[in-house]
Chain A
Amino acid sequence: QVQLQQSGPGLVKPSQTLSLTCAISGDSVSSSRATWTWIRQSPSRGLEWLGRTYYRSRWYSEYASSVKSRIVIKPDTSKNHFSLQLNSVTPEDTAVYYCARGIITTYRFDPWGQGTLVTVSS
């Protein structure tokens, strides 16, 4: 049974960097059948796909156009986890952030992490 466990701070100051980690158990971050994804949810934006990282002979990372200039998602094979960094945050980045496994080829998301409420405030 695959489980995802998120960690990271719940409060970030404006203009600083949001950093979250998602630890994987029951699967590998290097799996050829999965992509490792970050999604956020807020009342104003609903569920918003942010981006993903995955391994297919080499590592790839792909991002939503809305955050592309500010986001980095990367794997850590030694710890079997992946991380999210979102730079230059504003209050509009306040949301519940989820990590999730995307499954080829139609990219359903299963399972999800428990979610982390991140508030951007001074």
Chain B
Amino acid sequence: SYVLTQPPSVSVAPGHTARITCGGDSIGSKSVHWYHQKPGQAPVLVVYDDHDRPSGIPDRLSGSNSGNTATLTITRVEAGDEADYFCQVWDNGSEHGVFGGGTKLTVL
């Protein structure tokens, strides 16, 4: 089955840029979606189809995807960005949804 690999944690100072990676075999050929999840809450979609944002998501969040790595970039990081971030793809081979293990973003 398809596997997505994320770093367990990323730390960044306020105002700086955070980059969260999601690795997978030829992930650049798939559409990658990103979610954030705050404690006790359900995941919320923040980037879809590699780089598109749902309405209401600030343009400080952006996505890219190429080769074996997709990246979620958060510029001008704020305390409110602190959350767990998950990547997700649809695996056409198994016809299953697949999630990465999640990355905890800590704002120092």
What sequence of 0s and 1s flags, for each residue 18-59 of chain B, a beta carbon within 8 Å of any chain A beta carbon?
000000000000010101000001111100110000100000
Q: In the docked arrangement, what's the CA distance between A86 and B31, Å?
A: 30
CB atoms of B86 and A47 under 8 A apart: yes
Closest approach, in angstroms, between the C-beta of A101 and any C-beta of chain B? 10
Segment 26-80 of A: residues with Cβ below 8 Å from B = 37, 39, 46-49, 62, 64-65
Return the chain A residue nearest B1 by Cβ.
A65
Instruction: Write the residues of chain B forming the contact surface with A, with a CB cutoff of 8 angstroms.
Output: 1, 31, 33, 35, 41-45, 48-49, 54, 86, 88, 90, 94-99, 101-102
Given contacts A115-B41, A115-B42, 13 further A-B contacts (CB under 8 A): A47-B86, A47-B102, A62-B95, A64-B96, A98-B42, A98-B43, A106-B49, A107-B90, A110-B48, A111-B45, A112-B42, A112-B43, A114-B42
